[in-house]
Amino acid sequence: MISYLDTSALVKLYIYEEGTPEVKELAANSLIVATCKIAYAEARAALARGHRERALDDAVYTQAVTALKDDWRNYFAIEVSDALIDKAGELAERHQLRGFDAVHLAAVLMLKQQVKDNITVACWDKKFWQALKANNFTLLPEELPGA
């Protein structure tokens, strides 16, 4: 199985949130865990914000950042190319997505085109989840998050 984690799902591997057990199970059962290279910066920013806002204490924050750094080389990280950015612009307009969500959608669509295999996408962002559903991806969670 191939899985794609957007940043909202990737972070769940490093800090406990709603959906963490499901994302960990998906990653453990996947032959390939893919994401876009931007997810690293987004995940680091999310962890730093949690630390700044005192949702993560020093020890949890340090452990999460260290684990992300160690694990990053194990992910299939999709490059951000001019073609991907061009496609992301179109997708942002079509699906009314924020910029990085459109980049993630372009990345997973590119991956789908290359592997010609089913990809399960983990995403906890409502608007992005809906765009993924419109593009016929198998999703985790199966129902619209937060609905």
Q: In CATH, what number is assigned to the domain containing residue 58? A: 3.40.50.1010
Q: List, edge to edge, every strand of the sheet that includes 2-5.
A: 76-78, 32-36, 2-5, 119-122, 138-140
* Distance of alpha carbon 51 from alpha carbon 58, whole angstroms: 7
Determine, yes or no, domain membership for 95.
yes
Tokens found for residue 44: 């680091």
Nearest to 73 by CA among 42, 29, 37, 109: 37
Tokens found for residue 124: 């906890």
What's the whole-model pTM score? 0.95
Determine, yes or no, domain membership for 3.
yes
Which domain does 52 fall in, by range? 1-138
Tell me: the pLDDT tens digits for 58-108?
999 999 999 999 999 999 999 999 999 999 999 999 999 999 999 999 999
